[in-house]
Structure 1
Amino acid sequence: MMTAPNLLASVDLGSNSFRLQICEIHNGQLKVIDSFKQMVRFAAGLDSQKNLDEASQERALECLAKFGERLQGFKPEQVRAVATNTFRVAKNIAQFVPKAEAALGFPIEIIAGREEARLIYTGVVHTLPPNGDRMLVIDIGGGSTEFVIGSDLKPTSTESLPLGCVTYSIRFFQNKITQKDFQAAITAARNEIQRISKLMKRNGWDFAVGTSGSAKSIRDVIAAENPQEHDITYAGMKKLADKIVAAGSVKKARLEGMKPDRIEVFAGGLAVMMAAFEELEIEKMMVTEAALRDGVFYDLIGRQLNEDMRDQTTAEFQERYHVSKNQAARVAAAAQKFMESIGHAQNMPVQELAYWQQYLNWAGLLHEIGIDIAHTGYHKHSAYILENADMPGFSRKEQNILSLLVLGHRGDVRKMTELVNGNRAMWPAILSLRLAALFCRARLPLELPPFTQLRSSDDGRGFVLRISQSWLDEHPLVAGALEYESEQWQKVDMPFTVQAQ
């Protein structure tokens, strides 16, 4: 039984807790109808080599299976699952993700730190409009802390640093907590924040906002101690730190307003927040309920309303790297046509075909960004940028797909064999982009000859391009390039033949 199409679900796989939230959408407005949260303490499972232990993986899979049960009946486009810092840093995450996706029943996007910051800000700005004032948003997670400045829907500065309530609690507060421990944690966090403090201060802000568990728990405990205080202040935090030191632990301090599930990680989050106040010279901070999951929802709505951040990022990259937009549009359109041809010939499911056409559109629009660095080997430069740049809206996996398509669009096909890593569905997309670039080489308006068709060979091992002989006779440059292309695909045991008719 399918779920109502106006329902959306976000899955936030943090370093401390995993969250599932389900919302109903009406005219762009969100109404929460169900939510689940489980303290998985994922970051606590990282050993000294940055490998996740079995216990943390089991806790995560058990939680994801519960989420998966609740999400039965949801279509893929109704769900977005994002994973943050621990997924980014764990060395053995590649082995874990397939199991996690199987348990959840949906793909999991491991997002970069700055993309996490953007999504957090998107959630905050939709629920707390800044009215033209510049706000500084700080989100202390389990393994990373995000810092964002902005005054409208699009942030001006996004930063992510590797300090969080779980990692700092484990690193500094495992035994009896002393003043020395607190000072060591604050100093370590300040050293990290120093990397961005000059830029942040230069950009400036009018007010500060805290979001997520650490900020909310600090606010709640300060308010319980002093009911007139509704914001986080440094003086309020200092009192809490002194109480914890006097008692020797967070648990023994018996802090009012403290939720039991925050006890283990409270000291780490408090030290990071105190460091942020010291280094950025923050006077006070209000706290909002908005968080990463809200940003994921608004991003999903944007995608459904054809306001996809990924399209905006693509356009910005074209500007930044001085791309010839006419040529890029020609290649993107031709690549999608070739993919459509082979997709129909293979009876590819409509959704899968649309998926690859979307990636070929972005890849075609961005395949020449590397020319801004050097024309020789420009596809390698383009691929490197797409793999490593901050690209708002794109997950790491999406950037990897774009990078591979662009790397494979010219040169020796053999280099792609290991990179594609058994994902045979990528080969038709790679060939589609290669042919698009080949046919558009003259950088002039292109009309493919009638009845041009790309399909799989009869044995399913290779590809066949049907095309007009008379057209090839008129375009000897393309005809010669197609012969070279045929030689390339022989090298990877996927014959590509041209049937001229």
Structure 2
Amino acid sequence: MISVFSKRKSVLPTPISSAVIQDRILAAIDVGTNSIHMVVVKIDPTLPAFTIINREKTTVRLGDRDRATGNLTQAAMERAIATLRRCQDIAQMHHAEAIVAVATSAVREAPNGRDFLQLVENELGLEIDLISGQEEARRIYLGVLSGVAFNEQPHAIIDIGGGSTELILGDGHEPRCLTSTKVGAVRLTTEMVSTDPISSSEFNYLRAYVRGMLERSVDELLSKVRAGETPRLVGTSGTIETLATLHAREHTGTVPDPLHGYQIPLADLREMVNRLRRMTMAERAALPGMSDRRAEIIVAGALILQEAMELLRLDSVTICERSLREGLVVDWMLTHGLIEDRLRFQSSIRQRSVLRAAQKYQVNLPYAERVATFALSLFDQTQGILHNWGHEERELLWAAAMLHNCGHFISHSAHHKHSYYLIRNGDLLGYTEIEIEAIANLSRYHRKSCPKKKHDNYRSLTTKKHRKVVEQLNTLLRIAVALDRRQIGAIDSITCEVVPAQQEFRLLIHPTHPNDDCALELWSLDGKKGCFEEEFGLKVVPKLVPLPPDAGSYLT
């Protein structure tokens, strides 16, 4: 007989302890709409800080999608895979211990975007996380924080990408506003510019479109600016760096290296936009510091910056050379316990994001916490015996347990399906798209049917790993839900015993009150144990075992 017992006082996932290893090497890759960027960094955990030791950037134009289908083209995918293979070689040359990679707008929106990520994994063994626009904004914020001293003052951040533009407001603490809008330099040029140089009619339409698209994000950001505050505007991305290079060469005769901290006044930006719009693409490409590929999209990119500055009523932008790639590094350091200073608030972003969603959807928090406690107890007691999942999967189970009942916000009927929808579309921060999909699926399967291939939501899990996570861990969540059927905390704790000889999973149930027979909980468990028994090939055998009088409460 194998018996494992774990008593946890906190419902939150256990944090990872700080590391003390020196000079850790990490590679971070941003698979964007216009380019693929990589930085290789050397991390000194004792500061904590990191130094960039190599950069790689290639324009692959994943955003040049098939106009009829919206799919990523075969040519673009081949260019991307060749670039990613080169990135892997460079990371290996520097003996990087890990590569963290994310994909953004173009892959998010393409119908075959997930197929592309699977192709990359199959060919290169490289896992690329697909992240939402808000999560992209959060990591950009982390990247800027790593390179700019906020001094407790509000900063507005604009990142102009190929497919989207992120607007962020923060003061060095938790971001006040994270937005992502589907206006980007490649997207606008591809969809709205057909003349060279751009005609007045196309330019005026483009300007009105950009302003209209940005207004909602700008209004949201300005609503978070407090009375008496005037944010400083910080700009990141290749578009803004190119504009800074042009401006510096024209106004000072030299281009500072690095560009970090260089400022462009709005009045000068307006003049630059007016000149650039009157040039042909060949004339723009001939400008010192302008690449052929950037020349194609610079007018649209510059116009996005100009309209954003005018809507924000800010008269200059300061360049920051750190952005999403560096944000990936900071996020990795946070999740690996390497940062405990001014960025410490970010380390619990997942937990706080889940709790905000629970409050938004009026979840009964004491009940949700009890279910989460039981689910994590089952996870811990069966780890290494029935499953080999680790800390990351434990966090997914916790999030699903906390939000499994949020579908009641819409309706009691089929609320498990409503929970899936709310979680899937709720912009949980700190998670990748596939992790959010896994949380949503775990919540969806806390009752009724077990996971089935015919279910659309189950098919949305594009990796074997996450399908297996859902198949196994949903069974633990089902049992946890049954153990608080009356939602009154009738059960104090549980002890699991796996008995292979009898093919039994013995569940020793310790009631909170010795005289409570927990009949409703046992009845609910009988109805919910089927998926567990099918998945693990064990018969669930519950037994009520009152705790000794001096045992203390499990849930305290």
Give the one of 27, 33, 40 matched to 1:15.
33
Higher helix share: 1
1:203 corresponds, among 206, 224, 232, to: 224
2:446 is equivalent to residue 406 of structure 1: no
Amino acid of the residue matched to residue 438 of structure 1?
A: A
Quick check: 1:223 aligned with 2:248?
yes
What is the identity, as a one-letter code, of the residue corresponding to 2:266? Y
Q: Which residue of 2 aligns with 1:357?
A: 394
For residues 428-484 of structure 1, give each alpha carbon's deviation from its aligned partner in whole angstroms, at most 9, with x where no partner exists: 2010110111112243163455444498997xxxxx53245999x944333322332
**Structure 1 residues 151-166: aligned runs within 5 Å:** 151-166=171-186
Q: Is 1:498 aligned to residue 540 of structure 2?
A: yes
How far off is 1:495 after superposition?
Answer: 6.5
In structure 2, what is the Cα distance between the partners aligned to 1:500 and 1:242?
A: 76
2:280 to 245, 248, 256: 248
Distance 1:489 1:446, change over 3 A: closer
Q: Which has the higher contact order (CA 8 A, sep 6+)?
A: 2
* 1:288 corresponds to: 320
Distance 1:5 1:324, change over 3 A: farther
Partner of 1:446: 491
Q: Tell me the CA shift for residue 36 of structure 1.
A: 1.5
Q: Residues 344 and 281 (structure 1 numbering): CA distance in 2 closer, same or farther, change over 3 Å? A: same
Question: What is the one-letter code of the residue matched to 2:434?
Answer: K
Q: CA separation of 1:101/1:369 partners in 2, compared to 1, >3 Å: closer, same or farther? A: same
SS at match of 2:162: coil
Instruction: Check whether the contact 1:187–1:275 (CA below 8 A) recurs between aligned residues.
Output: no
**TM alignment of 1:339-358, pairs within 5 A:** 339-346=379-386, 348-349=387-388, 352-358=389-395
Q: Give the superposition deviation at 1:308.
A: 3.6
Q: How does 1:119-158 map to 2 (within 5 A)?
A: 119-158=139-178
Greater shift, 12-21 or 277-286, is seen at 277-286
* Alpha-carbon contact 2:104-2:130 (below 8 Å) kept: yes
Equivalent residue in structure 1 for 2:525, among 476, 482, 490: 482
Q: How many residues align?
A: 490
- Unaligned 5+ runs, structure 2: 1-20, 256-261, 340-346, 544-556
Give the aligned partner of residue 24 of structure 2: 6
Q: SS in structure 2 opposite 1:43?
A: coil
In the TM superposition, residue 388 of structure 1 has moved relative to its aligned partner by 0.4
Give the whole-Å Cα distance in 2 for the aligned partners of 1:11 and 1:415: 34
- What amino acid sits opposite 1:89 in the alignment? E
Matched, 1:235 2:267: yes
TM-score, normalization by structure 2: 0.79
| CA distance in 2: counterparts of 1:244 and 1:222, whole angstroms | 12
Q: Paired residue for 2:458, among 420, 427, 439?
A: 420
Letter in 1 for 2:479: L
8 Å contact 2:484–2:521 — kept in the other structure? no
- What is the deviation of 1:246? 3.9
Confirm or deny that 1:108 pairs with 2:148: no
CA RMSD of aligned residues (A): 3.3
Cα displacement string for residues 157-182 of structure 1 (whole angstroms, at most 9, x for unaligned residues) = 11111111111222344441134133
Query: TM-score scaled to structure 1, two decimals?
Result: 0.87
| Counterpart-to-counterpart distance in 2, 1:410 and 1:456 | 29
Compare 117-126 and 298-307 and name the one that shifted more.
Answer: 298-307
Alpha-carbon deviation of 1:282? 3.1
Partner of 2:104 in structure 1?
Answer: 84
Shift of 1:57: 0.9
**Do the aligned partners of 1:47 and 1:53 also contact (CA within 8 Å) in 2?**
no
Q: Which residue of 2 aligns with 1:190?
A: 211
Query: Matches of 2:397 and 2:85 in 1, distance apart?
Result: 33
**CA–CA separation in structure 2 for the residues paired with 1:198 and 1:76:** 42
Quote the offset at 1:325 in angstroms: 3.7
For residues 321 and 407 of structure 1, what CA distance do their matches in structure 2 show? 15
Alignment partner, residue 406 of structure 2? 369
Letter matched to residue 80 of structure 1: V
- Pick one of 376, 381, 405 that aligns with 1:336: 376
Call closer, same or farther: CA 1:412–1:24 in 2, change over 3 Å: same
Shift of 1:414: 5.8
- Where does structure 1 lack aligned partners over 5 or more consecutive residues? 459-463
Q: Which amino acid aligns with 1:392?
A: L
Mapped contact 1:345–1:455 kept (Cα < 8 A): no
CA–CA distance in 1 between the matches of 2:121 and 2:316? Answer: 41
User: Are 1:300 and 2:337 counterparts?
Assistant: no
Secondary structure at 1:122 match in 2: helix
Asked whether the 8 Å contact 2:496–2:506 carries over to 1, the reply is yes
What is the CA–CA distance in structure 1 between the aligned matches of 2:395 and 2:244, rounded to whole Å? 44
| Structure 2 residue matching 1:413: 3-state secondary structure | coil
- Note if contact 1:342-1:455 (Cα within 8 Å) is conserved in structure 2: no
Cα distance change of structure 1 residues 195 and 425 upon mapping to structure 2, 3 Å threshold = closer
Shift in Å, 1:206: 2.3
Corresponding position of 1:435: 479
C-alpha spacing 1:260/1:302, structure 2 compared with 1 (3 Å) = same
Q: Deviations over 1:221-265 (max 9, x none)?
A: 111111189522333233333333443225457323324552232
Q: Which residue is equivalent to 1:268?
A: 300
Query: Which deviates more, 56-65 or 315-324?
Result: 315-324
User: Structure 2 vs 1, CA of residues 61 and 341 (structure 1 numbering), >3 Å: closer, same or farther?
Assistant: same
Matching residue within 312, 315, 335 for 2:355: 315
- Change over 3 Å in CA distance of 1:179–1:73 after alignment to 2: closer
Quote the sequence identity (%).
25
